[in-house]
Structure 1
Amino acid sequence: MIQVEHMNKTFKVTRRSAGFSEAVKALFHREAERIHALYDISFTIGDGEMVGYIGPNGAGKSSTIKILSGILTPDDGICRINGRIPWKERKAHVKDIGVVFGQRSQLWWDVPILDSYELLRDIYEIPTPQYQETLDELTELLYLGELLRTPARHLSLGQRMRCEIAASLLHRPKILFLDEPTIGLDAVSKLAVRDFIRKQNQKHKTTVLLTTHDMQDIDALADRVLLIGKGRLLLDGALSDLKSHRPREDATLDEIIAALYRDYRI
C-alpha cells in the first residue's frame, strides 16, 4: 500500500538574464527563487489499484514519482510504501517497485537488450528459474522476440519502450510507477503497451501509478484519478466522477481536463 500524508518538496532555482555581462554578475550574485514542487500532498493507494496521476507540465507529477521511488527526499511529511520509507530503505524498497520514465532509459545503449536484462538479473539477485520464466512471459506478451538480440540504439522508440517496460518487471515488482510510458509512440505501440499493463494488473495484481498527458491512456487503464496543479492535489476520485465535470454533453476527456485546468487556474 502507498501512503502519503502532508508531503512537501521545494527546489532552489537560480535565474539570470542572457548576455556576457549578466553571466559575470552571476559569478558574484545569483538571483535565487524557491519553487514549491509539492505542497501538502496526501493520498492513499491500495494494493492492486490502477491510478492515473494527471496535471499540466510542472505540476509536480514527476517529483512525486521520484519521491515514491526513493530518488528524492521530501522536505517533510510522511511517505510509506509497504511499510517502508523509500529514501531511507532504498535497497529493500527497489526490489518491490518497477519504474519506467518515458524520457529516461535503463537499457545500455550499445549492447543487445538481453545483456541489459542479464545485468539487471544480477543487480536484483533474481533466481535463474524465476528470471527465465518471467523473461519468457514478457517476451510473449510484449512481442520482444528478435528485439532481445538488438542493441538499444538500433530500436525504434516504440520497440525500446516495450523493452523498457519489460526491464522494469523482470524482478516481479508489486508496484509499477509509469511516468509517461507512451510518450511519442504510434497508435499500434500505444495499444500494445496499454493492453500489457492491463493484463499485468489483472494477472499479478500489480499496483500501477500512471502519469501521462495522453487522456486515452487514463481512459483505458485508470479506475481512479488524482489531479495535481501547481504542486497541490486538486481532485481525487473515480474516473466516472471526473467525467461528471463535462463542460458540455459531448465533451471528450481531453476537453474535461482542459476545463478543470481553467477552473483551477493551472
Structure 2
Amino acid sequence: MDLIELTDVEKVFTVRRRAGLLRRERREVRAVDGISFRVPRGEMVGYIGPNGAGKSTTIKMLTGILVPSRGRLRVAGIDPSRDRARLARRIGVVFGQRTTLWWDLPLRDSYGLVRRMYRIPDARYRANLDRCVELLDLGALLDVPVRQLSLGQRMRGDVAAALLHDPEVLYLDEPTIGLDVVSKARVRGFLRDLNAERGTTVLLTTHDLTDIEQLCRRVMVIDHGRLVYDGALDGLHTVGGSERMLVVDLERELPPMRDVPGARVVRVEGPRQWLAFPATRSAAPLVAAVAERYPLLDLSVREPDIEQVIARLYGDGPPRT
C-alpha cells in the first residue's frame, strides 16, 4: 500500500516586488513543478536537494500547511489541506530549526502536553516515552527547560515528541543537525529500529548525506522544483556518471600506467598512482591487469563520494529517472 501519493503536484507563489517609485510588478515563482512519486508503507526515503529546490514546500504540502496549486496529493488516503486535524494524528514532524516543544517548560511537561493534545492512552504514552528516553538518552534532560537545552539535545527531544502518538508517517528535516558523532549514531540507530519494529514510514531531508547512506535505500533528488532522480541509492552513481578509484602502490616509481584497459590515470605521486574507472564496473579486471603488468606492492579501491555525485546532479540537471 502506498502511504504517500503525489501526482503532478505544483506549487506556485505570487511574488510582488518594487519596479519603480510608485509601481510594483508581480511574478510567479514555481517552487514545485509537476512532482509525482509514491512511498509505500514502511519505506525510508531520502528527499534531498540544494537550498531553494522545493524540499520544504513539498513537506509543507504533505502536512497540509500549504495547499497545492495543482495536482493530487494524499497521505494515508487523506487530502492534507482538507483534513489537517485528522491527518495530524497519523503523522509526526521534526523541523531541524523549529521546535515543537514549549520553550519555558521542562521536557517532561512538554511531553505531558503532547499526550493531552493527541489524547494518548496512559499505558501507551508511558511505554513510548520510556522507550524514547532510553534510546535517545534523555533521562537527565527531562526536568530541564527547553530553552536551556543545546541544539543537539533539543533535536533529540523533538524526535521523541514526534513519536509519542505512534505516527504512521514521520517527516524529518535535518534530524541530526547539531549532534556530535555519538549522538548522530544513536539517533540513526533509533530510526532504523523504529522503522524495522513498527514499520513507520520515514521521509528524510538532510544535508548530512551520511544520514541518507546509513538509513535509506531509496533517494529522491529535487532541483528547481523538479524531481531529477528517484531510485536506489546505488543508482545515483550510474546517473551521475561517478567513478571509483584504484589506488596502486608499486615497488618503484614508474611512468603513468596508461595501458590498463577501462581506466585512466588521474594522479601520480612517486610509486603511488591513482586510476579512475566507472563506478558501475567491477574492479577485478583492472586489478588483474595491474598485477600482471607491474611490480605491485599493494592496492585499494576507494568508493565515489556521494556528495560529489549529487552535486553533479544539481549542476547537470539530468532527466528524470
Q: Same fold (TM over 0.5)?
A: yes
> Aligned-pair distance for 1:263?
1.4
Q: Which amino acid aligns with 2:64?
A: G
Corresponding pairs, count: 257
1:118 equivalent among 104, 112, 123 = 112
Q: Which residue of 1 aligns with 2:191?
A: 197
> Aligned-pair distance for 1:259?
1.4
Q: Which residue of 1 aligns with 2:305?
A: 252
Q: Which residue of 2 aligns with 1:134?
A: 128
Q: Which amino acid aligns with 2:189?
A: D
After superposition, the C-alpha distances for 1:102-152 in whole angstroms (9 at most, x for unaligned) are 011111111101111111111101111111111011111111102111001
State the distance in 1 between where 2:127 and 2:184 align. Answer: 25
State the distance in 1 between where 2:168 and 2:228 align. Answer: 27
> Aligned-pair distance for 1:181?
1.4
- 1:67 equivalenced with 2:57 (yes/no): no
After superposition, the C-alpha distances for 1:195-217 in whole angstroms (9 at most, x for unaligned) are 11111101111000001111111
> Aligned-pair distance for 1:44?
0.3
Q: Which residue of 1 aligns with 2:300?
A: none
> Aligned-pair distance for 1:16?
4.3
State the distance in 2 between where 1:240 and 1:189 align. Answer: 26
Q: Which residue of 2 aligns with 1:13?
A: 15
1:79 equivalent among 66, 73, 83 = 73
Q: Which residue of 2 aligns with 1:149?
A: 143
Q: Percent identity?
A: 52
> Aligned-pair distance for 1:232?
0.6
After superposition, the C-alpha distances for 1:22-63 in whole angstroms (9 at most, x for unaligned) are 7xx3xx432332110001100000000000001110000010
1:261 equivalent among 314, 318, 321 = 314
Larger radius of gyration: 2
State the distance in 2 between where 1:86 and 1:242 align. Answer: 31
Q: Which residue of 1 aligns with 2:273?
A: none
SS in 2 for 1:172: coil
CA RMSD of aligned residues (A): 1.4
Q: Which residue of 1 aligns with 2:28?
A: 34
Q: Which amino acid aligns with 2:129?
A: L
Any stretches of 5+ residues in structure 1 without a counterpart? none
Q: Of Structure 1 and Structure 2, which has the larger fraction of its residues in strand?
A: 2
Q: Which residue of 1 aligns with 2:200?
A: 206
Contact 2:6 2:37 in 1 (8 A): yes
SS in 2 for 1:149: coil
> Aligned-pair distance for 1:188?
2.1
SS in 2 for 1:249: strand
SS in 1 for 2:110: helix
Q: Which residue of 2 aligns with 1:95?
A: 89
State the distance in 2 between where 1:157 and 1:191 align. Answer: 16
State the distance in 1 between where 2:149 and 2:18 align. Answer: 39
Q: Which residue of 1 aligns with 2:103?
A: 109
> Aligned-pair distance for 1:246?
4.4
Contact 2:43 2:202 in 1 (8 A): yes
Contact 2:152 2:177 in 1 (8 A): no
Any stretches of 5+ residues in structure 2 without a counterpart? 246-303
> Aligned-pair distance for 1:156?
0.9
